[in-house]
Amino acid sequence: MNKRKLGNTELLVSEIGFGSWQLGNTKDWKGSTDQEAIELVHKAIEMGCNFFDTAPNYAGGKSEELLGKALKGKRDEVVISTKFGHFADGTTDYDPSLLRNSVENSLRLLQTDYVDSVLLHNPPFEMLNDNSKHFEILEELKKEGKIKAYGASVDSSKEMLELINTTDSKVIEVMFNIFYQEPKKAFELAEENGVGLIVKVPLDSGWLTGKYDKNSSFKGIRSRWSPEVIRRRGELVEEIKDIKDEQTSMVHEALRFILGFSAVSTVIPGIRNMSQLESNLAATNKRMDSKQIKRYEDFYERHLAGNDLPW
């Protein structure tokens, strides 16, 4: 597994990380047993994956708990990032007075005395600058050795620029994929300022795996898409299939596109089983050339720039 620097934090992270939203999540997915989840984490480490992204609300708190069990005795082999703002009971509250207790509860569940990064979890825009009390508290936690770095999980270049220009954030998690390239506008500045980028939603919630088409129907969290959005996404998937070569899977194409940007430190597809794990991690075996990256940038400009798909 290839590794990259997480900005200027001195942390080295695997290019493909482990998105842990699905770990222990039996509400939105057919769940695995606790033991199967632990074995999945162990297998990931064995295959060279060392970056694990989680949050207090993932699987109602189960994600952090399972990671803590799985990583016991392996803490020095991995990099862990968690978040603040969304809680295990399903509530959202960004009150800065809750931040320290949230981090300390994450430390307890993860069975560690520090986490490598803590991210504000998609907070309101007005909280993404140095006037926010959050960054004062995060800096205190960093000085105490409870965290190594901090930042936020966001969705746009505007949010990224606010963080980079007004705070000492050194880690930003951002949504970015073939279908959603708007945040790329801030990549150069992030790289210049030593800010490590974690890319979330790299497979567009499953669409860039190629398993859905314009006739697909959805239940649960994915029922948010209207028939019009499903049809549009399905048509775009077909064009992607024409751009890529027949030997390359949709998953590898999607992940390699993202890794084609040097500003990106790691990409975190969700992982539910061994098959997905092995497929995701194999994406680092080959690089996407600049001409192919340009084809996807042109694809985005033609079809989506200024008219992005609703998440």
Percent above pLDDT 90 for the chain: 81
Mean pLDDT of the chain: 93
Find residue 13's DSSP bridge partners.
4
The CATH superfamily label for domain 3-204+250-287 reads NADP-dependent oxidoreductase domain (3.20.20.100)
Residue 29, pLDDT above cutoff 60: no
Distances (CA, A) of 40 to 59, 62, 271: 16, 15, 9
Residue 38, pLDDT above cutoff 80: yes
CA distance 67 to 65: 5
Per the structure block, which two tokens stand in for 101?
């207790």
Q: What is the mean pLDDT of residues 282-292?
A: 94
Q: What is the mean pLDDT of residues 180-194?
A: 97
CA distance 172 to 156: 11
CA distance 164 to 129: 9
Q: What is the pLDDT of residue 178?
A: 97
Query: Which is it for strands 147-154 and 18-19: parallel, antiparallel or unpaired?
Result: unpaired
Nearest residue to 182 (alpha-carbon basis) of 268, 311, 305, 295: 305
Q: What is the mean pLDDT of residues 226-233?
A: 92
Q: What is the largest CA-CA distance in the chain?
A: 53
Domain range list for the chain: 3-204+250-287
Q: How far is CA 267 from the centre of its chain?
A: 6
* 31 pLDDT tier (thresholds 50, 70, 90): low
CA distance 101 to 96: 10
Q: Name the one residue in this structure whose structure tokens are 């800096």.
A: 139
What's the predicted TM-score (pTM) here?
A: 0.94
